[in-house]
Structure formats: structure tokens, C-alpha cells
Amino acid sequence: MSFQDPNVEKRLNALLPLLKPFNRLRPTNRNRINVWKVEFPDPGNTILTHLKRLGVEQLENHVFWLPPSRFTKFEKLADGGFASVWAGTVENKHTKVHEGNRTTTFALKELKAAMVPELVLNVLFNDNGTFYFPTIPVVGLSQHPQTQQYLMVMWLATNGTLENMKLQGQNNWSDVATVARRLAANLADLHECGFSHRDLHPGNLAFIDSLVEPFLIDVGLAQSVEDDNECGGVYGRLPYLAPEAMTGHGQTQASDVYGFSTLLWQFVVGVQPRLCASQAIRFFPEKLREELVPGAPPQFNNILRKCWNPDPEKRPTMAEVEQLMSQWFKQSGKLYENKFTPETLAFIARRRSEFQLQESEKTEWSMCEGKSSSKYFTVVHHKSQFHSKEMLHAVSRDMSFTTLPEYKEFASRSLDLSQVNLEAINALDKQGRNCLPSIKHQP
């Protein structure tokens, strides 16, 4: 694999000097690496051969080589917007160091030439978190058993992502504050090192063992894709892009702050936001990305307001957001008893009902195609993709969808909260938001 793209070489030249020597890694990380190198012995130093082909031999002591022949099970998990992901299971030969587990299943992400800086960046963050890993650790390198495509070996997100996780029991503000604090710390760590995520969406927020300990994934991928496109534009999901990204000003750390707030809102409500940011700030009061959550603690909605400021210069930094989250967390000693109020549950029920209606009608009000108004009602985009400046400009400047009868009917449609099905609210309160029964709009 050779690098003809000067952008790839430039990013590698910036990242590789930041790697710590093995003897300067944290003891826990050195031990973790050694455990895997014992499990996957490499007497011929095969890992160095492959890393040289990738131009990153500096990673030799940071990752192990997983021979494709060790896989006892290999299956595709998903096709991402830029790379596919597989799950590979191996039998452990040293079960004692694996807490008695006979097998281990890894996530295996396709590694294209433009993504090699992403590999280095994720290895870099294995040891750069303040107290924990901000990203799902990349621990090794392997190849697809049939195609020999290089694969990054990562921990498997056993509890899925925010997009598909089971939100059982997530019905109190303690869980929300815990997730928000951890996510803010992860992004603050990323920003402190001089990087930004640039593609925050629910599919890139993963959970391994706990549903309140989020990890970032696909860190660095957006920049790799954007650098690979000479025409200019941004990579991501349109409903989750900040307004400045929609208007051709690119994505920055301030864009991550905006995306953080959107993910926090979705963690509570359980559905994606409506519209695109450039449309929402002209449609919703206060120029916010979405409606604030009724019945939420004042600190929660205050953080949404600050992070959703349409002017990136006026948003707080992620370090400041982390401080706000820590203050809220410390002040919330009784949050374990502070479940969502009926007002909050009714709001969640309404928004989930509206989303179910959209899905059943196969419509998408975020009109993220940049086509004529008759084409605005399109199926939801569930994958990140590259969007040219021309397409983003077309989407941002055209608000004619709000005059269409179908949209007016949708926007004016609301639930009478006094008539909300109590069975639905009880289901939300007792069993988690994914157990919400179908709710019909009141005539």
C-alpha cells in the first residue's frame, strides 16, 4: 500500500512524532499490549513487515498481529459510509489471562490507504485519555481471510451504539448526567490534543460493557475522506452537521460542541432531530437545533442552549462544557431519585410518535438531498457520506419545503398532552423508551 496522496503523508508526519515510546506508556496499557502479544505470538515479527507496507512501522510495539487463520468465526457487521466492519472470533489459548473466557470477539474495520492516519490517531488515544479511553481502542492489525484487505483490530462494542442500543432503564437524569459527563470528557481529551471528531452522530457513539460509558469511534475518518476529495465539502450525516458546516465553512472543534448537544438531546428523546441545522435555526424558536426538553433540569436545557448557539465563536469549548457537566453531576446528588417527569415522558412519547409516523410514511423532513422541493420527502440517510459545497449550499438556502401542505400538516400536528395514553407513559417510566407502544395522534 503506497501513499501518493500528500495529505495522507502530511497527516502521518504530524501524528507519528506524538506516539510515546513503549516504556513511557501507562503500566496498564503496557500490560494490555503484552497480554495480546503473548496470546498471538509473532516470532517472525510479521507485524513489522505489514506496518512497513503501511508506512507506520513506528506502531510495532503498540499493536499485535492477528493472523487471519486464527479466526473461528468471521462475519460482516455493517457497511459504513466509507468502510465496512466485521466481527472476528478467536479461541483463547491462555484463558487465565482472559478471566477464563475461552473466546474473544473483535471488531475488524476495513483499513484503506486514506485511513492509515486514523489508525495512528486511534492508537495515539489509547494512552492519551485523562482517566480512560476516549475512543474504542485499536489494539492490532489483521487481514480479511479472503480478500487480504487490511483490518484494524478493535474492541467490540457489545452494547451497540446510541443508534441501536437498548435504552432499558434510561429514564432518570442520573444516567443522562453520567453519559453527558463522560462524552464531554472524551471530546475534551480529543480537542486538548489538537484534533476534532467532525462526524458526531449516534452511530459513532459506542457502548462496550456499560450503557452509561460511551466511547467515540471513527475519530479522524471525516478528515481522511475530506482530504481525499479535491472539490471541497464535508463528510458526515446531514441531520447532525453544525450550521457552519452546512454553509461551507468546514468543521471545527466548535462543530463538535454543537454535535455533542445534539447527541445529548437524542440520548434523552430517543429519536434523531428534525430538519438540518441550517434550516432548524430559521424554523425553531431561539435559533436552536431542536425543541428543548420540557421538565428537564435547568442545567440540561442551559447546556443545550449554549452548545446550540448558531455562531460557533459564541459556543463554549468542550473543556468548558466538561466543567459545566461536572458541576451538574456534583450538584445532582438526588438524581438517582429524579426520574423523568410525566411532562418529559409525554414529550418523548410525542416525538417518538411523530418519528414512527415519519418512518411508516417513508418520509424524511430533514430534506437532505439538495433537490427540488418535490424531492424533499426522502428516506432517512443512515450513513455518513461526502457532501459537496454545492449540495450543502442548495440545501441551506432552500426553505420552500416549509410551505408545502404536507409539511405544514406535519409541523402543526401535536399531541394533546392531557390525552396522552397513560399506558405509553407508564411503559416509558418502567421499561425504557424502546418499549413505547405505538401512539396515535389525537384527531
Q: Where are the domains of the chain?
A: 6-155, 173-435
Question: What cell does 413 get?
Answer: 400536528
**pLDDT at residue number 417:** 40
Residues of the chain above pLDDT 90, percent? 30
Pairing of strands 64-65, 138-143: parallel
Tell me what pLDDT residue 73 has.
95
Round the average pLDDT of the chain to a whole number and report it.
77
Q: What percent of the chain has pLDDT over 70?
A: 73
Average pLDDT rounded to a whole number, residues 371-377? 34
Kindly report, residue by residue over 204-226, the tens digit of the pLDDT.
888 887 777 888 888 766 565 55
Residue 181 pLDDT > 70: yes
- Top mean pLDDT of 136-140, 362-366, 392-396, 434-438 is at 136-140
pLDDT of the residue at 98: 56
- CA dist 307 to 102, 133, 140, 242, 318, Å? 45, 24, 36, 10, 9
CB 32 within 8 A of CB 126: no
Instruction: Pick from 225-234, 326-335, 357-366 the range whose average pLDDT is largest.
Output: 326-335
pLDDT of 95 over the 50 cut: yes
Q: Which CATH number fits domain 173-435: 1.50.10.20, 3.50.50.60, 2.60.40.2550, 1.10.510.10?
A: 1.10.510.10
Q: Measured in whole angstroms, how far is the alpha carbon of residue 64 from the centre of its chain?
A: 26
What would the mean pLDDT of 420-440 be, rounded to a whole number? 42
pLDDT number for residue 408: 46
Question: How far is 185 from 153, CA to CA, in rounded Å?
Answer: 24
**Residue 145 pLDDT:** 94
Contacts of 265 (CB under 8 A, 6+ apart): 273, 289, 290, 293, 304
User: Can you give the pLDDT at residue 110?
Assistant: 93
CA distance 213 to 69: 33
pLDDT for the residue numbered 329: 74
Q: What is the dihedral of CA 139, 199, 185, 190, to 10 degrees?
A: 60
Cα 302 vs. chain centroid, distance in angstroms? 22
Lowest mean pLDDT among 49-58, 130-139, 293-302: 130-139
Return the minimum-mean-pLDDT range out of 127-136, 158-167, 377-386, 421-430. 421-430
Measured in Å, how far apart are the chain's first and last C-alpha atoms? 62
Q: Is the pLDDT of residue 96 over 50?
A: yes
Query: Residue 332: what pLDDT?
Result: 59
Fold classification of 6-155 is Phosphorylase Kinase; domain 1 (3.30.200)
98 versus 315: which is more confidently predicted?
Answer: 315
The per-residue pLDDT for 117 is 86
**Is it the case that residue 255 has pLDDT exceeding 90?**
yes
pLDDT of res. 292: 93
| Confidence (pTM) | 0.79
